[in-house]
Chain A
């Protein structure tokens, strides 16, 4: 057996899946149950109902009401660092979102489109802070962070799935329509989870109050991790007086892949992203393997690149999102295998006959 094999085994050992929520519960229960069983037994007074009630409360709340339990809870609370972070500026916010795919968010913040909110709600030892809201008039992003010195937030997500009874993001008492994304990441040193709630098509809601109700925290498998309620309220910024945030450019281009023709007819430039809209035969496959990896991007003559952030197809419509680029001579680079150098080219053309090259690397 080679050294690498033992290293592989160690990696496999470290990758043993930890049932985080269940393990937390099991350990917490074992610790509290054991502490309960080792403390001196009380002599019960059954003569008054009040006495019984006190006993019941004492048993239910053993963790909080016995010195041993209190000590345990204090220790558990101290299991994670106490992090209190409230951003004060857009720059503070921007520094939290470091991933490549958040370039659009950082760009919008740098353009002054963010507002600090700092609404904090603590429940079940978890503090969720609505750090800020960013909007370009059409797309609105809520930025939240969660901290706890007692609950492990690794892999913990927000339950935003609306039900008939429980609306999660509502305006004027109605669950909002339209697209909504929820992404997060985790800082192990701080035991801090950072969430981005992305809401599209919010133009019609400008100036209105948005209510966000987080009912539970959940695992990546959508199982309930922690029951609780964290409610927020914030106004969707009205940017109707701000001009030039969005620029649409008609184009006329196409490319073919495996006998299917994909037409491209519009590029929309916003602070968050640059999006190419097009069409394709209904029921045709998505062009290339665009769901995976960084296999398409825009590049300007100045060398600026906008990486692909998403690809959507529905009912013959095609939409490809990229990181933000300015309105200039964009080259669309498509690369089925990113490292491949084999290229083929086409041309995207404005209706105003301003050429936008299309370069496809196959």
Chain B
């Protein structure tokens, strides 16, 4: 598949990823646009065209991270989200996606998004984020533990404990 066609066909995915960072339409559209411009300009530097899918995901994520750094906004969370004390159960049970994205640090959030929302394999996430597999697993653990989702080692690759 041609590079441009790949971008065109998956643009909604890239928009969603961008949106999880900025949570507004205009900025998410800007990130998608800027990512495409960066990709096209640097396409010649890509020696292995087979990995352009992973490579473009990486560009979108990096552009989104840069964007949020440049446009850092103070996000006011309600007290129930800011205060987290040991021993209090299911503090975040009323999370919606927006609150979830606000409370998770960038590096945990993107792992969660790529793994569970984009159904990407751990190895592919490691490629996108240029980290090793164990780092990704560790971040996934951390993200899930912040959200109080139980997880086992062997199920990191796909399934979540059905704790009730």
Contacts and interface: CB of A to CB of B under 8 A. Distances in A.
B117 A13 contact: yes
Interface in B54-90: 90
B119 to A, nearest CB: 9
A27 interface: yes
B147 interface: yes
B154 to A, nearest CB: 16
Query: Is chain B's binding surface mostly helix, strand, loop or mixed?
Result: helix
A23 B116 contact: no
A31 B4 contact: yes
Contacts of B12: 18, 23
Interface stretch (A71-79, A217-225, A301-309): A71-79
B164 A12 contact: no
A22 B100 contact: no
B160 A30 contact: no
Interface string A17-44: 1110011101101110111011000000
Contact of B92 (A1, A14, A18): A1
B113 A75 contact: no
Contacts of B117: 9-10, 13-14
A12 B94 CA distance: 13
19 contacts: A1-B95, A2-B164, A9-B96, A12-B96, A13-B113, A16-B19, A18-B15, A22-B29, A23-B11, A23-B29, A24-B11, A30-B32, A30-B36, A31-B8, A38-B41, A71-B2, A78-B5, A79-B5, A79-B8
Interface of B: 2, 4-5, 7-9, 11-12, 15-16, 19-20, 25, 29, 32-34, 36-37, 39-41, 43, 90, 92-93, 95-97, 100, 113, 116-117, 147-149, 160-164
Given A14-B117, A30-B40, A35-B40, 18 more contacts: A1-B90, A3-B149, A5-B93, A6-B160, A9-B95, A10-B117, A12-B96, A18-B16, A23-B32, A27-B7, A27-B8, A27-B11, A31-B8, A34-B36, A34-B40, A38-B43, A71-B2, A79-B9
